[in-house]
Structure 1
Amino acid sequence: MQRFIDTITHVFTAGGQHIGGLPFSDEDTSMETLSHCSSLSDLNSAGGVIIADDAAQEDFQYKLRGYIDSTVDKSAKTRQGALDGLKTAMATRVLYEFISERRMTITDSIERCLKKGKGDEQSAAASLACMLCIQLGSGMESEEVLKTLKPLLASILADTSAGIQARQAVAKSLGLCTLVAEDDILDVQTTMERLESLFVRSYTRGDGTRPAVSPQNSLLHTDALLSWALLLTICTASQIREVLCKHLPKLPSLLESENVKMRIAAGETIALLFELARDMDADFEFEDGEALCDKLSALATDCTKHRTKVDRRKQRSVFRDVLRAVEEGDFQSETIRFGTERMTIDSWSRKRMYDAFREFVGTGMNYHLQANEFIRDVFELGPMLADSATLKTMKVSRFKRHLYNSAAFKARTKARNKFRDKRVDVGEF
């Protein structure tokens, strides 16, 4: 029987494939490797997987250090690539310890690129500043980052000679960085006023005429409005009352914008304001509520042919929800699933926050919901689950699973074929 046991422990891969960093051939025999193949369901016992992940983690950090060094390169293209590389890394992993040790260096690099860079480089630097705050979370470290970078961000935002894309990126970043790192409500209000100074330029004038706004400036005003709405979610009751008096009568004029993104941003901001107003006063009524509902209803059923089908479909979907929010105070809840957990988006405030984080984190949002303590605190998800905290480092890639399964299958098939071969001397078993 020993011969059969020896035979079945062989692990093969065609052409000397590498599994977990080790080369294998038809002559290789490894009981340890077989244990990896047979216990994929128990990652803690798959020592080779952890070793491979440790090596990958070391290589990953080496690349990050290279990106940080390249942010001071003479080439603008190289600097921008390094900034984008760091942002992508921060969006896909939680790197608090690594980043915390290099916070000042990264902040200095962002500051330098914002000062000396142009256009795309400034955009990349502004976005990285936001990801840096998301990684560091709420506290002294992110406060120091914002304190250093806010004057530059505010200057670019107000500079009409700066590139529109850079100003858009700054508008987005300034809002979310303020949400994460600013602890003084008066400073929050100052940032809101900076953002407000942009989108009010799209309001209808006092005489009823519409200002001429270029498509690029319309996108800038849209991003400023969305960041401003994000900060509304952390305003005091007195600030919200002031905003309701000042902006709610004027925001409906943005529903007539030629830009579909502006129309949708205005509609969602109006729904958010109604929600915040009713949180303070359940009997809140808007003086021009009937006219507003007529506009929202028209947008919810818009069939204008000069607009694309995609724009019309998206607009109708959003404005059905906005109309329901204004008329009935209702919100169409949405469930977000990540790992073994789920989160319900059950209000316009929560939706605005989720959309803002997702815009920066992108496809890494589900991972950050599992493993980023700050984002979990924002959405009241409680402590990290044990399996969520280690998910990224313990997960076996699909390709690696394929190699393990192939090796196990070949070993099992060859062993069984030999066992069934009539030429095998049964007496030897």
Structure 2
Amino acid sequence: MKGESAASDDELTSEILSHYSSASETASVLEEGPGSEQVDEQTAREETEDKLKQCIDNLMDKSAKTRLAALKSLRQAFSSRVLYDFLTGHRLTVRDCLERSLKKGGGEEQAAAANVFTMLCIQLGGGDEAEEGFKSLRPVLTSILNDSSANIAARQSCARALGLCCYVSTAEEGEDLVKSLALLESVFSSSYPNREGTLPTPKPGLPGLHTAALQAWSLLATLCPTSKLTELLELHLPKLQACLQSSDVNYRIAVGETIALLVELGRDIDEEFEVEDTESLCECLKSLATDGNKHRAKNDRRKQRSIFREVLHYIENEDFTEEKIRFGVESVYIDGWIRKRIYDAFKEILESGVRHHLQYNQLLRDIFGLGPPLILDAATIKGSKISRAEKHLFNIAAFKVRTKQRNKVRDKRADV
């Protein structure tokens, strides 16, 4: 019977995560044991899949509360575990349910459905299934994003979904990439200064939407061929520089990070690449990096100063403070603005589950140059002591390979 309560859906989520946690750990660590353990694992997996099917059934319930609870349960399950085998067989049903929520649900349900759809694309691994889903739902995501009367949180989720789903699903197809770039650009460009050079006064909620659209756009910019990228650099860098004076701290930060990313992309094309009027840009960045304006919240000032110090150091000296992400016995090093934007995009949607996906999701492992998931016995895991230097060199080499591959794709891909 449908119409499960929100409380029961929370219990269902907890059971799903518990079952998949034990199953995943067993699958990733090869240990010898009695046959009964294999039977128990299979039984647990079957029970978990039954509960996932129940969540999917609840997406079709007449009660909005029940649908929202089911979306929450699925998001937590999708974040915490890799469910490729299960979702390959149920993707069409899940996609149809999400499309119904996007078309007919309220703002909160639309936002939740867009997030779950993004995670579905990640779960499906960016192959034909994910591409098929993106093409199917892109029109409704676009419609919500363009609707100025739609719920602002739903529009933000749709912007992020369009960016990340396009990134994982249609990276090699120029038409989809250009359409998504243009759509996202049309959203955040309304924050650009007018002909008199004055920044518009944003309506409540719009800076958050502009931030989501700009971040999604900058993620897709990392896929552009050289000719398209050169066009984007010339058009947007001067206007983005003006947006550093935005009244919203989160949008200012997103703008600063995007400028740094675009400069890194420009330097990938030409080592001598420089921003037009670099001196003026650096003066602005110095001001933001030392901002002591008492009218701003203390935490906002601290966050802003930290980010803009990093941006300034990169623009002036190509310095970037490396970040190490550990998961299992492995690590990934975030050593540039391109890599940071990619990692942040996945972290924002997967939240605390991003480390699990780095460990087991082949899509993320391909993106970050990690190779197939490691299969280690318990003794190896316990005794593994790979030195920091070895891990660092491995990550650098892997990312260099990916960068070369990306540049080759840029060179070969038809101009779009």
Distance in 2 between residues matched to 1:375 and 1:46, nearest whole Å: 34
Asked if structure 2 preserves the Cα contact closer than 8 Å seen for 1:371 and 1:388, the reply is no
Is 2:63 aligned against 1:80?
no
Aligned mate of 1:216, from 173, 186, 205: 205
Indicate the residue corresponding to 2:227 in structure 1: 238
1:238-273 deviation per Cα after TM superposition (whole angstroms, max 9, x unaligned): 111001111001001221112111011000000001
Q: Which of 1 and 2 has higher RCO (CA within 8 Å, sep 6+)?
A: 1
Aligned mate of 1:156, from 139, 144, 151: 144
In percent, how many aligned pairs have the same letter?
50
Counting only pairs closer than 5 Å after superposition, residues 280-295 of structure 1 correspond to structure 2 as 280-295=269-284
- Alignment CA distance shift 1:299-1:95 (3 Å): same
Distance in 2 between residues matched to 1:382 and 1:227, nearest whole Å: 26
Q: Kindly state the Cα deviation for residue 57 of structure 1 after the two structures are TM-superposed.
A: 2.7
Indicate the residue corresponding to 1:184 in structure 2: 173
Distance in 1 between residues matched to 2:273 and 2:194, nearest whole Å: 27
Q: Kindly state the Cα deviation for residue 89 of structure 1 after the two structures are TM-superposed.
A: 0.6
Asked if structure 1 preserves the Cα contact closer than 8 Å seen for 2:188 and 2:213, the reply is yes
Indicate the residue corresponding to 1:89 in structure 2: 77
Q: Which amino acid aligns with 1:123?
A: A
Aligned mate of 1:116, from 89, 104, 108: 104
Q: Kindly state the Cα deviation for residue 163 of structure 1 after the two structures are TM-superposed.
A: 0.7
Q: Secondary structure at the match of 2:205?
A: helix
Aligned mate of 1:125, from 110, 113, 119: 113
Indicate the residue corresponding to 1:339 in structure 2: 328
Q: Kindly state the Cα deviation for residue 46 of structure 1 after the two structures are TM-superposed.
A: 7.4
Distance in 2 between residues matched to 1:323 and 1:47, nearest whole Å: 60
Is the radius of gyration larger for structure 1 or structure 2? Answer: 1
Asked if structure 1 preserves the Cα contact closer than 8 Å seen for 2:58 and 2:67, the reply is yes
Q: Kindly state the Cα deviation for residue 56 of structure 1 after the two structures are TM-superposed.
A: 3.5
1:257-303 deviation per Cα after TM superposition (whole angstroms, max 9, x unaligned): 12111011000000001101111111112221111100101111111
Aligned mate of 2:288, from 299, 309, 321: 299
Is 2:131 aligned against 1:139?
no
1:316-346 deviation per Cα after TM superposition (whole angstroms, max 9, x unaligned): 1111110011111222211111100011111
Instruction: Give the number of equivalent residue pairs.
Output: 350
Distance in 2 between residues matched to 1:229 and 1:388, nearest whole Å: 40
Q: Which amino acid aligns with 1:383?
A: P
Unpaired runs of 5+ residues, structure 1, are: 1-40, 390-429
Q: Kindly state the Cα deviation for residue 58 of structure 1 after the two structures are TM-superposed.
A: 2.8
Indicate the residue corresponding to 2:163 in structure 1: 175
TM-score, scaled relative to structure 2: 0.81
Q: Which amino acid aligns with 1:85?
A: S
TM-score, scaled relative to structure 1: 0.79
Asked if structure 2 preserves the Cα contact closer than 8 Å seen for 1:68 and 1:82, the reply is yes
Aligned mate of 1:371, from 335, 357, 360: 360
Asked if structure 1 preserves the Cα contact closer than 8 Å seen for 2:199 and 2:246, the reply is no
Q: Kindly state the Cα deviation for residue 77 of structure 1 after the two structures are TM-superposed.
A: 1.3
Indicate the residue corresponding to 2:256 in structure 1: 267
Distance in 1 between residues matched to 2:108 and 2:48, nearest whole Å: 25
Q: Secondary structure at the match of 1:342?
A: strand
Distance in 2 between residues matched to 1:260 and 1:318, nearest whole Å: 11
- Alignment CA distance shift 1:290-1:384 (3 Å): same
- Alignment CA distance shift 1:51-1:216 (3 Å): same
Asked if structure 2 preserves the Cα contact closer than 8 Å seen for 1:370 and 1:388, the reply is no
Unpaired runs of 5+ residues, structure 2, are: 1-28, 379-416
Asked if structure 1 preserves the Cα contact closer than 8 Å seen for 2:253 and 2:307, the reply is yes
Distance in 1 between residues matched to 2:179 and 2:135, nearest whole Å: 14
Q: Secondary structure at the match of 1:250?
A: helix
Indicate the residue corresponding to 1:31 in structure 2: none
Query: Could you say what the CA RMSD is over the residues aligned between the two structures, in angstroms?
Result: 1.9
Distance in 2 between residues matched to 1:388 and 1:270, nearest whole Å: 45
Q: Kindly state the Cα deviation for residue 44 of structure 1 after the two structures are TM-superposed.
A: 3.7
- Alignment CA distance shift 1:48-1:158 (3 Å): same
